[in-house]
Structure 1
C-alpha cells in the first residue's frame, strides 16, 4: 500500500543504488526539505550487495517508502554488469566500457517518472556524474535535458502544468568534491557499496573502475576510505 506523505514537505523520488553518489544525493534532497521516496532496482546485476546497502541507507534516512523494482535487464545481457560471460575489466578502458548497461538510466528514470506521478512528486533526484565517471552516455547533461523535455510531454502532470524536474546535483562535481559534500552532510560512506564485483557481504574488489574512482576521491581529500576491500 502506498504510504501517504502527511507532512507539508514537497515529495521527491530519489534513485538509490546503494552507492556513494546516490547516498549523497539522498542526503542533499533531505537537507533541501524534501520528503523522499527511495527507488532501487534489481535489474539482474552481478550482485545484490548494493541492494542490501540501499535498504540500510533508506532505513537510516527514514524515507517515506523504499521500493525495489524487479527489471531483469540480464535477459538482454550486453554488459559486464548483467552478463556473467563478460568479465568486469580491471584496467581502465577507452571509449564506452563494457560495464555500460544499455539504456539503464533511461529505464530507471522512466520508472521514477511513473512513481512521481502516483505520489504527486514534482522532483526526481539522480546521482549521475559527468566528471569522474566511466564514459556512460546516459550520465551526460545532454541526456538529462532530453529526458526532462520528454518527461513533461509524456506525463499527465506535465501536460496539466505540474512540470516534473530532474535534479542532478552531482553532475559537474569530481568524486572528491562529492565525498567532501557528503561528509559535510554527515554521510556515512561505510554504508555504501560501489564495486562492480562486490561479494555477497559487500566487500569490494579494489580493481574495477568504480573502485578506482572511489578510492582516488578519498585519496585526493586525504580522508580514510571506509570501503571494505577483499585481500589482494
Structure 2
C-alpha cells in the first residue's frame, strides 16, 4: 500500500505544486481545503478542480468562519483594502493572523485519523509577502510541537510537515511544477478574488514575476499583467 499524505490545498500555485510533488512521490493523497470566508474564496472551486485532476483519495473542505468573524486581514475584512502598490519589506495587511498555525493543527488532526505521516504545505520564504508563518523556523517549531503533542508521533512514528518550496524562488517553484506537469491552468492566485485575475495585488505580482523569470507563459488570464 502507498504511504498516505495530507496536502493542504488552497487552489493556488504553491499548494498545487505541492500536490504535484506528493503525487510524483507516489503518496495516496488526502487533500484539505479551508473555506474561511476569504475574499478570494473562489479559490475553493479551483482546489476542487485540482483535487479531481490528481484523483485524490479524499478531499475535505473545512468551513472555518472564525477567521472571517475576527477580521484583522484584508483577505477576511471587507473594510480593509488589498494593497496594489507592489510588494514591500513590511508584513502586509493581507496577513491572516495565525492562519498556517490553525491550518497545520487541523491538518495534523486529519493526518492522525487517516493514518498519514506526512503533511505537505506550500509555504515559501523566498519571493513572498513576508508572512511569519511561511518561514522555516515556524515549520521546524510546528514539527516539534506535533512530535510532542500527538498520539501517532508518540506511539508510531512522527507526523512530519514537508514544506518542499520553502527555500525556492517562485521561478524555481514554477520550473519544478512544469517538469512535473502541474496543472497551473486550474489554479488562481488573485487576492482580490477576481477572474480574470487583477494582476496588481501582491499575490498576482509575485506569480507573474515567477512565470516571467522561469521563462514560462502563465496560463491564466489577467486584467493587467504587472510584476515586482
TM-score, normalization: structure 2?
A: 0.95
Judge conservation of contact 2:40–2:190 (CA < 8 Å) in 1. Answer: no
Aligned residue for 1:116, secondary structure, equals helix
Give the number of equivalent residue pairs. Answer: 223
Which of 138, 146, 152 pairs up with 1:151?
146
Q: Does 1:218 align with 2:188?
A: no
Query: For residues 1-232 of structure 1, what are the structure 2 equivalents within 5 Å?
Result: 8-72=1-65, 73-91=67-85, 92-199=87-194, 202-230=195-223
Q: Unaligned 5+ residue runs, structure 2?
A: none
- Work out the CA distance in 2 between the residues paired with 1:9 and 1:60: 19
- Give the Å deviation of 1:24: 0.5
- Work out the CA distance in 1 between the residues paired with 2:118 and 2:216: 32
- Work out the CA distance in 1 between the residues paired with 2:103 and 2:18: 16
- Work out the CA distance in 1 between the residues paired with 2:89 and 2:177: 29
- Work out the CA distance in 2 between the residues paired with 1:48 and 1:83: 13
Aligned residue for 1:69, secondary structure, equals strand
Aligned residue for 2:60, secondary structure, equals strand
- Give the Å deviation of 1:191: 0.5
Q: Unaligned 5+ residue runs, structure 1?
A: 1-7
- Work out the CA distance in 2 between the residues paired with 1:123 and 1:188: 22
TM-score, normalization: structure 1?
A: 0.94
Moved beyond 2 Å, runs of 4+: none
- Work out the CA distance in 2 between the residues paired with 1:38 and 1:188: 16
- Work out the CA distance in 1 between the residues paired with 2:133 and 2:216: 30
Aligned equivalent of 1:4:
none
